[in-house]
Amino acid sequence: MKPVRYQLFLFMCLCVGLNSFAQNIYLDSLQLAINNTDLPEKEKPVLLNRLAEVYRINRNYSAAESNARQSARIALHYKNYIEATKAYTLITVIKANNEQLTSLKQTSDSALVYAQQAKNPVAMAYGYYAQAFLYKTLDDPQKKIKFCQLGLKELEKSPDPYIAAKLYYQLYAAYSNWNNVPQANKYALKTTENALKTKDYNLLSNSYAALSVAHEYNYNATKEKKELDSVLFYLKKSEALYLKYPTQVSNYTYAITCINIANVYFKYFPVNDKNAEKNAIYYAQTAGNILKNNPNASEVKASSLGLLSEYASRSGNTSLTESYLLEAYNLMKADQHPYYYTLINITRSLSIFYKKQGNFEKAIAFQEEVTEYSNKNFNQEQALNSQKLEIQFETEKKNNEVKILKEREASRKIQNYLYVCIVIACLLGLLFMFRSYHFKLRLSLEREKQLQLEKQESEMQMKLEKEEQARLKAEQQLLEAQQQQLQKEAMANVLQLEHKNRMLHTIKDKLADDNSLNMQKIVREEMVLDNDFEGAKLQIQQIHPDFFNLINEKAQKKLTLLDMKLCAYLYLKMDTRQISQLMHIEPKSVRMSRYRVKQKLGLEKDDDLNLFLQSVGN
């Protein structure tokens, strides 16, 4: 019979026990705490998640999912998005472990959505872990690694060693499948370093198992004994955790550890090494016994029986070999959903066993069953792969839709930015126009004000000029009046002087002719004449300074100096005798002169010259 390969156990180790909360209390203690009426309902999601994880690692998936959903419902009621994210992440892992692929995508997306609503780095790390587990189930290691890295990046903001250890474990598993020894060693060590910072001993047990596998890779590459010793060292450390904390490390995890230890002894130690054989048998039996009452661990129990059958075959005990194989066969056949890889290996081992015993009928029958189970396994894998492909297609479709929506959103944002820029530009343009209009208006008002001021200044200047002109005109008129007054005074003085001269000549002539001339009478008459003349002269100067101009204009400037002298005497109300004496002409000549003056003045024959001259003077 061919040995059950170690890769089978590694696969089972990767599928279970990867995600567990701290198991520091028993299932009944957790349930009792949850049912405690004094416990506020909003504090129950934490305990429900722990209880669900305990059920999960013990492969009671229905109870695990029920408690996780109750936790999510209460957490969402109180808007505790962190615990809601943890609950949906746990449901994702439960569905993946139980191969419930139809709603796996929806559940993992819910975990990420609630993580985003929580706005918490640790919650985001859980959301990304749910996505990583989805793509692990869909056999898409690249995307699994991508989401693990995203989760670890979130934990740089707020470290959480528990979820960090789980993320590093997924990275270790991915690189182990690719036989990338350096990376597998690196992430196995990172997993253990973070698990040691928690009190989750089930997680730490799996971390030690990961380190043992990493050292096994190293041993296969170098064949150095220290690497093989390291494989057993870390598996024994995993075993020690269960012995020290039996209620905090699941039976299933410990059974896997025992199977791995037995397989190391079987695979890498000499056939004649009795101590290795003894240890291998002990651990194989322990694995079977620890899961004896566990209904969901038939493949592990069958694997332990397969190892025992190999050692029985080595010792030549055919009946014991047959017994172990048939027990494993019946165990797997009784399973409602058998793990076909283990069932095929057990059935093939029975076919080979009976063939060696010469019982070809049974050998053929079991070989036919191998073919049947291989076909069923193929069909199951096909159906599973079909579901995976469908989920991948739907996932890619949704991702593309999301991508398109994001691109549209980005395009819409760019459009909005452009619209905002256009609006801002328009506002700036309007502001500029308003400012320009305001500036022009202010400039126009300033100009209008300036023009008004200039107009006022011009009007003031014109007013000043008019006043200056009026002043100059008044001064000119005053000067002209003064000049006319001076002319009149000069004329009056000339007339008086002429009169005096005439008088002196008359006296002289009279003295020459008549020595008996009465001088006193002449002087007295002259004084009277002088007084009359002075009064008349003063009257002309004060009453009518424009007398001579007016009569000259009336006569159209035809008056001679003698005519004007005659008008002056007449204006002074002198009679013909006085005028004849002053002008030394005959009275008849005076009358003739008066007639000529009337003609020059344009007076009628009946008009009185004296009255006219007096009217002009008035």
Over residues 403-461, the pLDDT tens digits come to 676 677 777 778 787 878 888 887 887 777 777 777 777 777 777 887 788 888 778 88
Q: What is the 3-state secondary structure (H, E, C) of 292-305?
A: CCCCCCHHHHHHHH
State residue 444's pLDDT score: 78
pLDDT tens profile 34-43? 888 888 999 9
Give 40's DSSP letter.
-
Torsion of CA 502, 507, 508, 514, to 10 degrees: 140
Domain residue extents for the chain: 502-617
Is residue 9 scored above 80 in pLDDT? no
Tell how far CA 140 is from the center of its chain: 37
- Angle, CA of 226, 228 and 234, to the nearest 5°: 100
Q: Which residue has tokens 């002409």? A: 585
How confident is the model at residue 2, as a pLDDT?
Answer: 33
pTM of the model: 0.63
CA–CA gap between residue 226 and residue 502 (Å, rounded) = 175
Q: Is residue 145 predicted with pLDDT exceeding 90?
A: yes
Instruction: Please enumerate, as own/partner, the contacts of 354-357 that have beta carbons within 8 Å and a separation of 24 or more.
Output: 357/318
Mean pLDDT for the stretch of residues 529-542? 52
For residue 38, give the 3-state DSSP assignment.
coil
Q: Please tell me the least confidently modeled range out of 77-81, 213-217, 605-609.
A: 605-609
From 302, 203, 284, 309, select the one nearest 248 (Cα to Cα). 203
Integer Cα distance of 170 and 15 in angstroms: 11
What would the mean pLDDT of 33-57 be, rounded to a whole number?
90
- Give the DSSP H or E segment for 578: helix 576-583
Distance CA 443, CA 616 (A): 63
DSSP state of 367: H
Question: CB-based contacts of 117: which residues, under 8 Å, 6+ apart?
Answer: 81
What pLDDT score does 1 carry? 33
Which has more confidence, 68 or 502? 68
Handedness of CA 10, 16, 18, 23 (dihedral sign): negative
User: Which is higher by pLDDT, 244 or 26?
Assistant: 244
- The length of the chain is 618
Q: In this predicted model, which residue has the larger pLDDT, 464 or 205?
A: 205
Under DSSP, the state recorded for 415 is H
Q: In the predicted model, is pLDDT for residue 465 greater than 90?
A: no
| 304-339 pLDDT, tens digit each | 999 999 999 988 899 999 999 999 899 888 887 788
Q: Tell me, what DSSP letter sits at residue 577?
A: H
Residue 596: which of 543, 556, 544, 560 has the closest Cα? 560
pLDDT above 90 for 92: yes
Residues sharing a CB contact under 8 Å with residue 496, sequence separation 6 or more, in sequence order? 530, 533, 534, 537
- pLDDT at position 285: 93
CA distance 498 to 407: 129
Q: List all residues 6 or more positions away from 359 whose beta carbon is below 8 Å from its beta carbon.
A: none
* Nearest residue to 214 (alpha-carbon basis) of 253, 187, 241, 174: 187
* Residue percentage of the chain with pLDDT more than 90: 39
Structure token digits, residue 422: 């256009």
Q: C-alpha angle with apex 70: 68 to 72, nearest 5 degrees?
A: 70
Give Rg (Cα) of the chain.
Answer: 70
Instruction: For residues 264 and 431, give the distance between their C-alpha atoms in angstroms, rounded to a whole number.
Output: 83
Distance (Å, whole) CA 139 – CA 132:
10
d(CA 477, CA 488): 16
DSSP assignment letter at 42: G
Sign of CA dihedral 96, 98, 103, 107: negative
Residue 520 Cα to chain centre, angstroms = 131
Query: pLDDT per residue over 152-186, tens digit each?
Result: 999 999 999 999 999 999 999 999 988 899 999 99
Residue 16 above 50 pLDDT? no
The burial of 143, by beta-carbon neighbours within 10 Å (0-12 exposed, 13-18 middle, 19 or more buried), is given as middle
